[in-house]
Amino acid sequence: MKKPVIGITMGDAAGIGPEIIVKALVDRSIYKICKPIVIGDAKALAKMIGILELDLRIHPIQSVDQANFKPGIIDCVDLDLLPTETQFGKLSAITGDAAFHYLEKAITLAIAGFIDGICTAPLNKEALHMGGHNYPGHTEILAEFTGTEYYAMMLSSPKLKVILVTIHIGLIDAVNSITSDKVYKVISLANTALSRMGYVHPHIAVCGLNPHAGEGGLFGYREEEEKIIPAIDQALRESINVSGPYPADTVFYRAIRGDFDIVVAMYHDQGLIPIKTLGIETGINITVGLPFIRTSVDHGTAFDIAGKGIADGENMKIAILQAAQFAKSITRSL
């Protein structure tokens, strides 16, 4: 099977995106698994290579067919959107706007079939908004530009996988927006994603919303009975291997122990706290439901350390390799 082409978006260039990308791509073993290509600004990558004194060079290109895909040479679809005086660690409408256009270009390439998957370096939501793009984050941009109605954020680490029913909204809004249909669709997305990754009849656990999963209606407003249990019952009728709702204070431990392959969490922090507690450096973000694979590092732009040469590129390397692995899995399953 041919190696998949993975487009790596540079994210906000004032953050650690350029650094973690070059630190990941200095590892020549990546080129044995996939064909990486950066979508961003060549001069930002070159500047970082100079700071880190790495044995790499940049190959600016305008189209994927110009890429060499050779270790030691980073192919970069160069959008050339940044001024030379762009500073690390500085919130900027320019870098926020550029990050949006890197992703937009990657989506276009993926839809056209020039790349097989996307791996994203972090963008800064405030800078994104300053740049005129009022989205909560990568996931919502990807969904809108691909016309994807049903999608979900999945977080994956070596010991735990979590998928979210609601994503980047406040807690009160999250509770109000949860419906039985939405919970069912996320269960279904989890089943499809894990099946494509090679899991046989994956076991899916569903979190309750309230303490003790509502304790039979004693806590909350019967959200478990009205919004979650009907979704589980519908999935069971379709032979999906799902169970719950389970109390959130025990279900993640049970999943780490091996009882479940993935946990469906009801809101952002319910799912991300256990993943990040296990280690930010090993967790990656996967958007499921898109027409192509998308992975991302599970951390932000880290403006406080940007440009200092101390960011860890291991998470980006894992995200690139996972994008390649999942792209191959999806190809085999089609």
Q: How many domains does the chain have?
A: 2
Whether residue 156 sits in one domain with residue 99 = no
Whether residue 297 sits in one domain with residue 279 = no
CATH number, domain with residue 215: 3.40.718.10
Whether residue 160 sits in one domain with residue 28 = no
Whether residue 211 sits in one domain with residue 131 = no
Whether residue 52 sits in one domain with residue 194 = no
pLDDT of 168 reads 81
User: Hey, is 321 helix, strand or coil?
Assistant: helix
Whether residue 205 sits in one domain with residue 139 = no
pLDDT of 2 reads 86
Whether residue 178 sits in one domain with residue 319 = no
Domain housing 83: 1-148+290-334
Cα 148–194–164 angle (5° rounding)? 55
Whether pTM > 0.95 for this model: the answer is no
If you search the block for the tokens 């100079």, which residue do you land on?
50
Among candidate residues 155, 183, 159, the one with its CA nearest the CA of residue 259: 159
Query: What's the CA dihedral at 108, 146, 58, 85 to 10 degrees?
Result: 100
Whether residue 205 sits in one domain with residue 116 = no
pLDDT of 157 reads 85
Whether residue 207 sits in one domain with residue 237 = yes
pLDDT of 332 reads 43
- Among 253, 271, 289, the domain-final residue is 289
pLDDT of 175 reads 85
Whether residue 67 sits in one domain with residue 56 = yes
Task: Please state the φ and ψ torsions of residue 125, each to the nearest 5 degrees.
Answer: -65, -35
pLDDT of 186 reads 96
Token digits for 169? 């909204």
Dihedral over Cα of 302, 28, 318, 81: its sign: positive
Cα 216–248–234 angle (5° rounding)? 65
Whether residue 305 sits in one domain with residue 283 = no
Cα separation of 148 and 107, whole Å?
A: 12
Q: By the 8 A CB rule, do 201 and 238 touch?
A: no
Could you read off the pLDDT tens digit of each residue along the chain, which spans 334 residues? 689 999 999 999 999 999 999 999 999 999 999 999 999 999 999 999 999 999 999 999 999 999 999 999 999 999 999 998 889 999 999 999 999 999 999 999 999 999 999 999 999 999 999 999 999 889 889 999 999 988 898 998 889 999 999 988 888 898 889 999 999 999 999 999 898 888 899 999 999 998 887 667 767 668 889 899 999 999 999 999 999 999 999 999 999 999 999 999 999 999 889 988 887 666 788 989 999 999 998 788 999 999 899 999 988 999 999 899 888 765 444 3
Q: By the 8 A CB rule, do 319 and 30 touch?
A: no
Whether residue 99 sits in one domain with residue 12 = yes
